[in-house]
């Protein structure tokens, strides 16, 4: 009888650990991932989603060695699962932060830096142009089934980096840190067409102010810069779509390769 109880306890412990590691990785993912980790999503919805996805993904995860629940190895494994989920969500979140940065640059150039609003998905104040880019990017993300691809990357992570004390290594964290710099370069590239157009307008207004000093430059320049800024935004939307999709694809590839060389 004692042997039977011991075997049943071992099986119960193994099942709880298998589901627990998957739940921890999903929890880290839901902390920061775009769309899924938005602050406007209620915590109960996130919890239910994490539990349902745990029941789906846990049987698909490869078997792992039994770990003593109250040990240092178990604590290290729990921390690693949280970090893996956070890393996958963070890599894709950088793409949306690049859009927000591009909107900030354009808004400051066209004179709309003072027009801000509260971003419901982040709970912070952002410029309206950046919020427009963010909404545009989120709609594109849903249109190209980016949310499904992101969930697929998370599910594949249990294959190339199964639950265990071995998690992301130094090379993976260096790759993530280097990818964080992509936010600035991609944001500048996205904002470049509108910024160049507005720069030409400012140069033209400078020439006009020298030719006609009596002209009220603020009364003419501010509406002209704002009008041209909106025109440039409208003309740059097709190229913004292509650039966003390429950046998103690059983020998905990076997320899939996080476990390489760990």
Residues 186-243: tens digit of each pLDDT: 888 888 888 887 788 778 777 777 776 666 666 666 777 777 778 888 887 787 888 8
- The 8 Å CB, 24+ separation contacts for 33-36 are 33/88, 33/89, 33/92, 33/93, 33/150, 34/89, 34/92, 34/93, 34/95, 34/96, 34/138, 34/141, 34/150, 35/138, 35/141, 35/142, 35/147, 36/89, 36/147, 36/150
- CB of 111 within 8 A of CB of 222? yes
The DSSP output letter for 169 is: -
Q: Say how far apart CA 135 and CA 140 lie, in whole Å.
A: 9
**2: which residues sit within 8 A by CB, 6+ positions away?**
none
Q: Say how far apart CA 174 and CA 182 lie, in whole Å.
A: 13
pLDDT at 43 over 50: yes
- CB of 167 within 8 A of CB of 87? no
pLDDT confidence of residue 3: 43
For the chain, the domains span 2-256
pLDDT confidence of residue 4: 39
Q: Say how far apart CA 36 and CA 233 lie, in whole Å.
A: 28
Distance linking the first and last C-alpha atoms of the chain: 43
Lowest mean pLDDT among 79-83, 212-216, 224-228, 254-258: 212-216
Q: What is the mean pLDDT of residues 69-83?
A: 80
- Per DSSP, the three-state class of 161 is coil
Q: Say how far apart CA 260 and CA 189 lie, in whole Å.
A: 29
225 is written with which tokens? 């810069």
pTM, rounded to two decimals? 0.81
Average pLDDT score over the chain: 79
pLDDT at 16 over 80: no
To the nearest 10 degrees (0 to 180), the angle between helices 128-143 and 72-110 is 120
Looking at per-residue pLDDT, the higher value among 3 and 151 belongs to 151
23 is written with which tokens? 């739940």
The DSSP output letter for 118 is: E
- Per DSSP, the three-state class of 126 is strand
Q: What percent of the chain has pLDDT over 70?
A: 80
């Amino acid at each position: 009888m004692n042997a039977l109880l011991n075997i049943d306890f071992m099986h119960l412990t193994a099942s709880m650990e298998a589901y627990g590691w998957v739940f921890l990785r999903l929890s880290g993912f839901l902390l920061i991932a775009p769309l899924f980790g938005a602050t406007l999503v209620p915590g109960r919805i996130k919890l239910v989603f994490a539990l349902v996805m745990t029941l789906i993904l846990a049987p698909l995860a490869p078997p792992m060695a039994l770990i003593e629940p109250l040990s240092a190895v178990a604590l290290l494994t729990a921390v690693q699962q949280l970090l893996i989920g956070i890393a996958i969500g963070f890599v894709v979140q950088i793409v949306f932060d690049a859009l927000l940065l591009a909107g900030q640059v354009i808004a400051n150039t066209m004179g709309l830096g003072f027009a801000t609003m509260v971003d419901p998905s982040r709970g912070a104040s952002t410029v309206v142009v950046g919020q427009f880019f963010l909404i545009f990017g989120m709609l594109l993300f849903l249109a190209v089934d980016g949310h499904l691809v992101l969930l697929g990357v998370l599910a594949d992570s249990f294959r190339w980096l199964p639950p265990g004390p071995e998690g992301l290594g130094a090379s993976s964290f260096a790759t993530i840190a280097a990818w964080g710099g992509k936010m600035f370069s991609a944001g500048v590239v996205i904002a470049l067409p509108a910024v160049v157009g507005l720069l030409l307008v400012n140069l033209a207004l400078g020439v006009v102010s020298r030719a006609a000093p009596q002209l009220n430059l603020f009364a003419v320049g501010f509406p002209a810069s704002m009008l041209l800024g909106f025109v440039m935004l409208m003309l740059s939307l097709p190229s913004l779509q292509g650039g966003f999709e390429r950046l998103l694809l690059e983020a998905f590839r990076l997320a899939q390769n996080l476990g390489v060389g760990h």
